[in-house]
Each structure stands twice: as structure tokens, then as C-alpha cells.
Homo-oligomer: A and B are copies of this chain.
Amino acid sequence: MKHLIAAATVAVFSAGTAMAEKVTLNMPSTFPGSLIQLGQAGVKLQDTLNLISGGDIEMKFFEPNALVPPLEIYDNVSNGSVDAGWSVPGYWGSKNSAYNLFAAVPFGPSAGEYLAWHWYAGGEEMMNEIYNRDGIQSLVCGVIAPEASGWFRKEINSPEDLKGLKMRFFGLGAKVMQKLGVDTQLLAGGDIYPALERGTIDATEFSMPAIDQNLGFYNIAKHYYFPGWHQQSTIQELLISKAKWDGMTDAQRAMISTACRANTATQLAEGEAIQGKALAEMEANGVTIHYWSDDMLNTFRGAWDEVVAEEIAANPDFKNVWDSMQQFRGEYAKWKNLGYLK
């Protein structure tokens, strides 16, 4: 009888793609699961995938440090110690500076243009040419709305006011700030508030209004600057061990990429939805909101041009990716100027 049941079971299992061998994906995260947008989108990916795959894929989100420290996710996916990771490509800029360009670019594309380049002008493909060298597959799996430029204890009225400031800053934007005499440090989200409170730093950027509000910076620094020229949008990614990715069925890969694209649309919509309320609440709490003068934006832009030239000279991968993005942006600029109401 056991034999008969086994035969029947096999027959049923082979009837549909849904009965492929189950894939387990343990996924450590760079961001706490409770963090609006950045972490919550990773939890949502897990929930969606587990529901739509009907048991074919079992994804498990792990809080930062529960399996591995956030900044060691790359190495652990690369060597196969973990199956996957929830992150942002810019966290791996020390492995290859070109990763920064896949995540968030100063004076760079905002969400729609960025996704257009990633999916229709070779961005995601170039990204994987680099990741694959280390045995990793990366899927664009989310996009967040623009960040704010940051929190300052004192008003910034000229480039002079930036000199000597100690400020938390991330990614390529940090290199721009260094050119302007800012002493930058990269602190994880949870470490910023105490550093501001103790005076270890004078200023910080972290993310968009709804997230920054969550972290309470406005209790200490009252001047909040816009626009976030350094991150007009930021791509989130799902890292997967390349061997694991290659071993899946077409249907399993499609479930993952479909869940990632759904995540992207949802995150974009949420990011646009929740900033207005956060801004209004922060103003009610005594925050002064500023928009950078043209002079200040030109100063940032000039320093960014110097940073780009240096990065291009230092890394051929950076140059290739930059050239691809610039070519696309040239074509897109005509459309952007015509298509949209100003």
C-alpha cells in the first residue's frame, strides 16, 4: 500500500510546475523588519512569496545580526553560508565602487527613470555581470522615494557653514560632502540618535521624512533641508546565491521576480503616500524646513562632478556603468522636459 500511495503522490507532484522541489531562502536583512519602507518591504516580500508560491518557496526574513551582521551579508551569500539577503547595492561600494551606481546617484535619476534604466537600458544586467563574479544574483526588488538632504543643528547659508561639520553621510554623497570640508562618518540607523545627542556628530542625513521622523532626529536638530540631491531615489535589492538561483525552475524564478516587481510598485506608492503627513507633523513639532538655494545646489553639483571624475579614473567598472546611465539619461531628458507638466 505504501508503494501505491507513493506512486500516486509522484503522479500528482509531476502534474504541475507548482510541484517542483521546494526552495528554502533564509534571508538576513540590512534593515530591521520594523523600519518603515526599508525593512518592512523585506518582510512584505517574504509574506508575498510564501503566499503565492503555495509552499514551493519558503523565504524567511532574519533581523540584522540574527544570522550575520548587516555588512557581512554580501560575503555570506557569496560563499553560500546564507541563501539570500535583503539590502541596497550601495552597501557594497567597498567591494566595487560601481555598486554605488545601481543604488542611488547624486543628481541622478528618480524612481521611474531609474527603473527604466535598470530594466530597459541594461542597468540590472550590468549589475549582475559584477555580482555574478562573486557567485551572487541580485534582483531590483524595491525603490524608495527621494531622501531629505539632512538634519542640521544650525542653519546652513553658504558653503562656508559646512566646513568642519561632523556629519553622518552615506554612499557617493559622502564623498561630495568631504570635498566641501565635511567630516563624514557612516553610522547605522540606530546609532545616529545617540551620536547626535552626545554631540559626536553635528548633523545627519538618513532617509525620507517618514523614516527620519520615526527615528526622532527632529528632537535634537531643528533644521531640515531639501531636496535630497544625493539620493533622489534608492534601489533595494534581493541578493540570492547564484547557484541556488540557477537551480530553480523557471516558475520559481518567475515567482521571485514577480514578487520583487510587485514590491517595487507597492514601495514606490507607499513612499509617495506617507511623506506629506510626516512633514506636517514635524513642522508642528517646531522643525524649520528649508529648500537649498541655487547657489548651494550648484556647489554640491560642482563637487559631485569632481567625485565622478575620480571614480571613473579609479575603476573601469564604474566608468562602464556611468557611461551606460549617462547615455540613457541623455535620451530621457528630452522626454522628461516635454512629457510632464512643470
Asked, given contacts A269-B115, A270-B120, whether A339 binds B228 with beta carbons under 8 Å apart, the answer is: yes
Q: Determine if A69 is an interface residue (Cβ-Cβ < 8 Å).
A: no
Q: Once the chains bind, are B56 and A54 in contact (CB under 8 Å)?
A: yes
Complex CA gap A229/B115 in Å reads: 24
Q: Which of B111, B119, B263, B335 contacts A112 (CB 8 A)?
A: B111
Q: Once the chains bind, are B209 and A276 in contact (CB under 8 Å)?
A: no
Q: Determine if A113 is an interface residue (Cβ-Cβ < 8 Å).
A: yes
Count of residues in A whose CB is under 8 Å from the partner chain: 83
Q: Once the chains bind, are A119 and B331 in contact (CB under 8 Å)?
A: no
Complex CA gap A12/B275 in Å reads: 47
A176-184, A195-203, A253-261: which one contacts chain B? Answer: A253-261
Q: Once the chains bind, are A332 and B18 in contact (CB under 8 Å)?
A: no
Interface residues of A in 238-292 (CB under 8 A from B): 250-251, 254-255, 257-266, 268-277, 279-280, 289, 291
The interface residues of chain B lying within 8 Å CB-to-CB of A66 are none
Asked, given contacts A4-B8, A269-B119, A270-B119, whether A339 binds B15 with beta carbons under 8 Å apart, the answer is: no
The interface residues of chain B lying within 8 Å CB-to-CB of A118 are 269
Q: Determine if A320 is an interface residue (Cβ-Cβ < 8 Å).
A: no
Q: Once the chains bind, are B331 and A272 in contact (CB under 8 Å)?
A: no
Q: Determine if A51 is an interface residue (Cβ-Cβ < 8 Å).
A: yes
Residue numbers of A with Cβ under 8 A of B are 1, 4-5, 7-9, 12-13, 15-19, 48, 51-56, 107, 110-113, 115-121, 145-146, 148, 208-209, 226-229, 232, 250-251, 254-255, 257-266, 268-277, 279-280, 289, 291, 297, 328, 331-335, 337-342
Complex CA gap A273/B120 in Å reads: 6
Q: Once the chains bind, are A48 and B254 in contact (CB under 8 Å)?
A: yes
The interface residues of chain B lying within 8 Å CB-to-CB of A8 are 4-5, 8-9, 12
CB of A24, distance to nearest CB on chain B (Å) = 15
Complex CA gap A268/B268 in Å reads: 11
Complex CA gap A209/B334 in Å reads: 12
Q: Which of B145, B291, B332 contacts A276 (CB 8 A)?
A: B332
- CB nearest neighbor in B for A341: B227
Most buried by B among A7, A116, A117, A272: A272
Complex CA gap A1/B266 in Å reads: 50
Q: Which of B48, B258, B263, B341 contacts A107 (CB 8 A)?
A: B341
Complex CA gap A113/B276 in Å reads: 11
The interface residues of chain B lying within 8 Å CB-to-CB of A341 are 107, 227, 229, 232, 297
